[in-house]
Amino acid sequence: MFRMTSYLAAPAVVFLMGSTASFALTADQVWQSWKDAGAMVGLEVTAATENNAGGVLTLNGVSIAPAGTPGITISDMTLTEASDGSVSIVPGADIGVAMSGETTGSVKIAHDGLTLVAREADGGLAYDYTAAKLDVVYDTAYPGVSFDGSAAPEVKAAGNFGFANLAGTYSDTPGDNRTFGLDLTADTLAYTTSSDDPTMELKQTTTSETQGVELSLDIALPTSMSAGGMAAAPADFGAALQEGLSISFASKQGESTGTMNQESPYMPMALTIKAGGGEATGTFNKDVLSIKSTGAGLEIDGTSGMLPVPVKITSGPIEFGLTSPVTAVDTAGDFGFVMKLSQFSLNEEAWSLFDPQGALTHDAADLAIDISGKTKIDVPAMIAASETGMEPPTPAPESLDITELSLKVAGAALGATGAFTFDNSMGMPVPLGEANVTVTGATQLIDGLIATGLITEDDAMGARMMMGMFMAPGAGPDELTSKIEAKEGFAIFVNGQQIQ
């Protein structure tokens, strides 16, 4: 990838495309709203020439940038008033981002048929946009790292990120909380990148193409938080959350394919990657942080000059989930963590590198973690304390439920369930409850690891002693169980025996 020290205008440009619209839209009014919004976030929005004739505003030499700093330039733009009160906006073909500082080169936006239509919506502005193709193309260079104090050679980075059949809507709605919305769909999202770092003796190229991209994003900013003041002080951040600061998103995508080729004397490799479709959602506000995602599976094929055989990794469905309260001071909020990796497998050629005799079972591996509970926590106060050096408030968990904790690998399996509550009256959480653990195939796995040479007999002896201390024989062959109990007074029992 590339670095830029002056790419400050681009993230703030979205704020230009909206302001209170209590009037019938004209081309001049849309243009003026951009200039007004730019001033709010420290940007100067200018044009070398402006000409309005018959409801058509023609702009040449458009610039969007912080004062005295290079920014975004657009060769020309036409804003045309329509009979329905909307304004059609067609930018010219030459759109670029100026570079400054140590980074040199170019960043350009190339498009085929990009059109935006501005319209009034809920007292604000909405922009419907379409493009047959939209690409961000960069070709840059920046100083590399020197290990001996000499002048480092430049690192070169180039690439192209592009959407095909792009469509969507951007909206800006005023109110007690100013709300920004973005909806996007595209037939494909594809990119190619290349980098060349002479100091590290590393050259790398990547490609990727994802089908059926969908994205929805909503951001609410309280009126006390200016669009230009997103990096507020920790105390201000906490206040903004209480006033309604929030972010939510949802995304969906189809199948993805990609490649990566790396030239290096230390780790040369070539990868091809194929991933199934997936979905993700996220929410962040004063009450909750929640991220959830699912994927249909993964295939990675790799070769390397460091390995004598190709490596192929495959997996089944993948699931991830994280939930946490954000501000739960008086009443505990829900937390949870889910991670599930299914049918994670390695090809036999790769297995043969460390298990040529087949001493281990080569079945696909599975991992499942599903825990939840309730806790009191104050994340904004913890952030503020870390910034000021004060003692942060300590989270106070009230319960923990282990719905599923399991691992299956090389013929062995571990499974655990349990439930705990916590007494926080002593200034630290003291657990009360129990967990039950079952392990099968452990002896077979240890014997297989010894046969492969991955562990020694002495290593195995230590592992077997630990299993003997903390586990008891189960009902089936090569099965061990353990009951872990946490009782009053911080007393921990394993299979009825107290651990001192």
Amino acid at 232: A
d(CA 396, CA 219): 30
Structure tokens at 479: 């099965």
The reported pLDDT for the residue numbered 232 is 55
Amino acid symbol at 70: P
Q: pLDDT (tens digit, 9 = 90+) per residue, 181-239?
A: 999 999 999 999 999 999 889 999 999 999 999 999 999 988 777 555 445 566 778 88
- Which are the contacts of 39, defined by CB distance < 8 A and separation ≥ 6? none
- CA 222 to CA 245: how far, in whole Å? 6
| pLDDT value of position 238 | 84
pLDDT (0 to 100) of residue 12: 45
Over residues 427-466, the pLDDT tens digits come to: 889 999 999 999 999 999 999 999 999 999 998 998 889 8
Tokens, residue 164: 């095909």
pLDDT at 39: 86
Report whether 47 contacts 28 (CB < 8 A).
no
pLDDT at 46: 94
CA 306 to chain centroid: 31
What local confidence, expressed as pLDDT, does residue 70 receive? 81
* pLDDT given at position 68: 79
Q: What are the backbone angles phi and psi of residue 224, rounded to the nearest 5°?
A: -75, -10
User: For 316-329, how does the pLDDT look when each residue is reduced to its tens digit (9 = 90+)?
Assistant: 999 999 999 999 99
Per-residue pLDDT for the chain (500 aa), expressed as one digit of tens each? 333 433 444 444 444 555 544 446 899 999 998 998 888 788 999 999 999 999 999 999 999 998 878 889 999 999 999 999 999 999 999 999 988 778 899 999 999 999 999 999 988 889 999 999 999 999 999 988 887 778 888 999 999 999 999 999 999 888 888 899 999 999 999 999 999 999 889 999 999 999 999 999 999 988 777 555 445 566 778 888 999 999 999 999 999 999 999 999 999 999 999 999 999 999 999 999 999 999 999 999 999 988 999 999 999 999 999 999 999 999 999 999 999 999 999 999 999 999 999 999 999 999 999 999 999 999 999 988 887 778 888 899 999 999 999 999 999 999 999 999 999 988 889 999 999 999 999 999 999 999 999 999 998 998 889 888 889 999 999 999 999 999 998 899 999 999 86
